[in-house]
Amino acid sequence: MKNNEKTVSEPAMKKQGFLDFLFSRNRAPLLFCVAMFFSWYLFFFYSIIQGDSYYRIILFGSGEDTFMDFYNSCRDASRGMECYTLRGVIYPPLANLFYIVCCPFITDKYLNTSFINNHKIMTTPSNIMVCVMITLVIVCFLVMLYSSVLKGNKYYKIIVTMLFIINYPVVYAIERGNIILLAFLLVLFFVFNYDSENKYISEFACICLAISAAIKIYPALFGIMLILSKRYKQAIRTVVYGILLFF
């Protein structure tokens, strides 16, 4: 009987040991690299086979709608409360405040145009550069933040960071000019720093989560991390921050 128990338990122990090894926190970057490499392989494989038609499937093919999540939101925000009453915008007030700040850098001709003529913004280089520069700043902060928490030599950091940035979800968000990039940056800072021994950095991480949730709402789910780690006071303060920023 003991031999049978040993025979049954050893494979289970080996399996559990393999799973612990595979999904340990130290192996997460390796799994990420493998997944991203496979994703890249599929991307280039289909690009070679289908050519331009593949890009038209995964991105907006006409070219007239590039960055329009940014431009349309600036146009809507410039109209004040009409963006909610007439256009039915679902962005929270803080997100619209961000776009209002960006409005002075967008030409008045576009801000005052009708929605059906929004594609005309792509004919104005200054309008295009506004979105490009804002996106570059956010991506640069993403690269710095992510590379700062990676462990390993510089080549490893470069490869993992490139895989992190150059993948379809991020590329698609860049093509749309979506504010989710900013929300993602703030959430990432929270995830990496909410348990920091430096109380100021830890508190700022909670504020970042509150700002992110006030921009896109669903990042508030990351607040569960505070509850699971039994940081109840920190969680309460984060909720307060979020309520104040949302309204």
Q: Alpha-carbon distance 150 to 157, whole Å?
A: 6
Q: Alpha-carbon distance 189 to 147, whole Å?
A: 12
Q: What is the pLDDT of residue 33?
A: 74
| pLDDT one-digit tens code per residue, 125-143 | 778 888 899 999 999 999 8
Report which of 216, 192, 206, 202 is spatially closest to residue 241, judged by C-alpha positions. Answer: 206
Q: Alpha-carbon distance 238 to 204, whole Å?
A: 10
pLDDT: which is higher, 21 or 133: 133
* Per-chain mean pLDDT for the chain: 80
Q: Alpha-carbon distance 184 to 86, whole Å?
A: 29
Phi, psi of 142 (to 5 degrees): -60, -45
Q: What is the pLDDT of residue 1?
A: 47
pLDDT at 118 over 70: no
Q: What is the pLDDT of residue 43?
A: 75
| pLDDT one-digit tens code per residue, 199-216 | 999 999 999 999 999 999
pLDDT: which is higher, 184 or 26: 184
| pLDDT one-digit tens code per residue, 179-238 | 999 999 999 999 999 988 999 999 999 999 999 999 998 899 999 999 988 999 999 999
At residue 167 the predicted structure's pLDDT band, cuts being 50, 70 and 90, is: confident
Contact 131, 67 (CB under 8 A): yes
Q: Alpha-carbon distance 125 to 220, whole Å?
A: 36
